[in-house]
């Protein structure tokens, strides 16, 4: 199971002190706003697992950006099999891979369409603005973690994340250089201005 998940950019590291806890890493899929970026989740199971679903918390947060309709700034993960969203519930036939695959399936090119009120409006301007802003902010978060040594995702990915994903992230940054934008009225009341030149400088310095 570990090899299959790793091929999809999903990794899981159990807590050495408590096997009922662990950290999951999902690497953002190509051609989405999350491309190459690490998304981390803390996992806590009870002794009733697999008859009772684990508790999963989204821990990649900058404290202000709603990176996905189903991933709250507070860490809440909205997923029916976790009992946090309407829909099919957890069954004992499921496992951690079921959860990670469900989350991975939500990381699409147009993530706002996972919000019920937006599912029929995928091409509205605000949908594109949301995707663009999320991409900028998740890259900012990734580089900030690298600069400040909060790069546990490198260890969790068996020391493969930097070599495989940094070139993708740098390419995205290069495509956006010289095109700084100010966003207003983004979904979830977000606003801000991009800083591609600044984050390229930070990433370049970090890699020296």
Angle at alpha carbon of residue 183, lines to 182 and 184, rounded to 5°: 125
- pLDDT average, residue stretch 44-58: 98
The reply to whether 140 belongs to the active site is no
Which residues lie closer than 8 Å to 23 by C-beta, 6 or more apart? 12, 13, 15, 40, 41, 42, 43, 59, 152, 156
Q: Do 31 and 67 fall into the same domain?
A: yes
pLDDT interval class at 1 (50, 70, 90): low
Across 75-79, 106-110, 150-154, 164-168, least confident range: 150-154
Domain that holds residue 147: 114-207
Single out the residue in 92, 109, 126 at which a domain terminates: 109
Q: Do 71 and 27 fall into the same domain?
A: yes
Q: Do 46 and 93 fall into the same domain?
A: yes
H or E stretch covering 13: strand 10-15
Residue 203: pLDDT over 90: yes
- pLDDT average, residue stretch 87-94: 97
Single out the residue in 109, 133, 156 at which a domain terminates: 109
Q: Do 104 and 132 fall into the same domain?
A: no
Whether the pTM exceeds 0.85: the reply is yes
Single out the residue in 109, 130, 149 at which a domain terminates: 109
Residue 19: pLDDT over 90: yes
Residue 3: pLDDT over 90: no
Residue-wise pLDDT tens digits, 62-74: 999 999 999 999 9
Q: Do 28 and 87 fall into the same domain?
A: yes
Q: Do 95 and 162 fall into the same domain?
A: no
pLDDT interval class at 122 (50, 70, 90): low
Q: Do 100 and 119 fall into the same domain?
A: no
Q: By three-state DSSP, how is residue 86 classified? A: coil
Q: What is the CATH number of the domain that holds 79?
A: 3.10.110.10
Residue-wise pLDDT tens digits, 32-49: 999 999 999 999 999 999
Residue 121: pLDDT over 70: no
Domains held by the chain: number? 2
The catalytic position among 37, 53, 78, 140 is 78
């Amino acid at each position: 199971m570990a090899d299959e998940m790793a091929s999809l950019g999903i990794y899981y590291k159990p807590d050495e002190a408590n096997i009922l806890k662990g950290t999951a890493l999902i690497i953002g899929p190509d051609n989405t706003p999350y491309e190459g970026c690490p998304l981390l989740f803390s996992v806590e199971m009870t002794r009733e697992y697999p008859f009772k679903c684990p508790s999963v918390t989204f821990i990649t947060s900058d404290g202000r950006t709603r990176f996905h309709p189903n991933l709250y700034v507070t860490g809440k993960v909205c997923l029916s099999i976790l009992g946090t969203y309407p829909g099919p519930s957890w069954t004992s036939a499921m496992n951690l891979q079921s959860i990670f695959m469900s989350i991975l399936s939500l990381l699409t090119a147009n993530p706002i369409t996972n919000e019920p009120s937006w599912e029929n409006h995928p091409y509205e301007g605000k949908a594109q603005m949301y995707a663009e802003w999320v991409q900028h902010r998740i890259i900012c978060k990734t580089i900030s973690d690298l600069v400040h040594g909060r790069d546990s995702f490198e260890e969790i990915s068996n020391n493969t994340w930097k070599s495989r994903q940094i070139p993708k992230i740098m390419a995205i940054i290069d495509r956006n250089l010289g095109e700084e934008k100010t966003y207003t009225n983004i979904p979830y009341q977000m606003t801000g201005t991009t800083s591609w030149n600044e984050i390229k400088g930070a990433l370049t310095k970090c890699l020296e």
